[in-house]
Amino acid sequence: MTAQLSKKSEAWSARFSEPVSDLVKRYTASVFFDKRMADADIQGSLAHAEMLAHQGIISAQDYADIQRGMAQIQSEIAAGRFEWLLDLEDVHLNIEKRLTELVGDAGKRLHTGRSRNDQVATDIRLYMRSAIDDIAGLLRELRLALLDLAETHADTILPGFTHMQVAQPITFGHHMLAYVEMFTRDAERMADCRKRVNRLPLGAAALAGTTFPIDRERVARTLGFEEVARNSLDAVSDRDFAIEFCAAAALVMTHVSRMSEELVIWMSPRVGFIDIADRFCTGSSIMPQKKNPDVPELARGKTGRVNGHLVSLLTLMKGQPLAYNKDNQEDKEPLFDTVDTVVDTLRIFADMARGITVKPEAMRAAALQGYATATDLADYLVKKGLPFRDAHEAVAHAVRACEQRGCDLADLTLQEMQAFSPLIDADVFQVLTLEGSVAARNHIGGTAPEQVRAAIAFHRSRLG
Ligand code: ARG
The best mutation among 124, 329, 335 to test binding of ligand 1, ranked by most ligand atoms within 8 Å of the C-beta, falls on: 329
- Statement to judge: residues 184 and 105 lie in one domain: no
Q: pLDDT tens digits for 78-108?
A: 999 999 999 999 999 999 999 999 999 999 9
Take atom 3 of ligand 1 and give the residue whose Cα is closest.
329
Same domain, 229 and 187: yes
**Residue ending a domain, choose from 360, 380, 401:** 360
Do residues 256 and 348 make contact, with C-beta atoms less than 8 angstroms apart? no
Last residue of a domain, one of 308, 336, 360: 360
Domain extent for 194: 117-157+170-212+224-360
> Has 54 been annotated as catalytic?
no
Residue nearest to atom 4 of ligand 1 (CA): 329
| Confidence grade of residue 450 (pLDDT, cut at 50, 70, 90) | very high
More confident residue, 15 or 62: 62
Instruction: Report pLDDT for 288.
Output: 82
The reply to whether 81 falls in a domain is: yes
Question: Where residue 10 falls among pLDDT bands split at 50, 70, 90?
Answer: low
Pair 122, 44: CB distance under 8 Å: yes
pLDDT at 13: 73
Question: Of all residues in the chain, what percent carry a pLDDT higher than 70?
Answer: 97
Residue 330 shares a structural domain with residue 198: yes
- Report pLDDT for 6: 46
Judge whether residue 29 has pLDDT over 80.
yes
- What are the phi and psi torsion angles at 402 (to 5°)? -65, -40
Residues 138, 100 share a domain = no
Over its C-alpha atoms, the chain yields an Rg (Å, rounded) of 31
Q: pTM of this prediction?
A: 0.94
Lining residues, ligand 1, CB within 6 Å? 30, 34, 90, 116-117, 120, 324, 326, 328-329
- 414 and 332: one domain? no
Concatenate the DSSP letters of all residues of 258-290 into one string.
HHHHHHHHHHSTTT--EEE-GGG-B--SS-TT-
| Secondary structure E strands in 342-424 | 356-358
Answer yes or no: 163 catalytic: yes
| % pLDDT > 90, the chain | 92
- Beta-ladder partners of 357: 275
Q: What would the pLDDT profile of 183-239 be if each residue is shown by its tens digit?
A: 999 999 999 999 999 999 999 999 999 999 999 999 999 999 999 999 999 999 999
Question: Domain check: are 177 and 137 in the same one?
Answer: yes
pLDDT confidence band for 164 (50 / 70 / 90): very high
Is residue 456 located within the same domain as residue 431?
yes
Distance of CA 95 from the midpoint of ligand 1 (Å):
14
Number of domains in the chain: 3
- Average predicted confidence (pLDDT) for the chain: 95
Query: How far, in Å, is the centroid of ligand 1 from the Cα of 248?
Result: 26
CATH of the domain at 98: 1.10.275.10
Tell me which of 6, 268, 284, 397 is the catalytic residue.
Answer: 284
Mean pLDDT of 116-137: 98
CATH of the domain at 384: 1.10.40.30
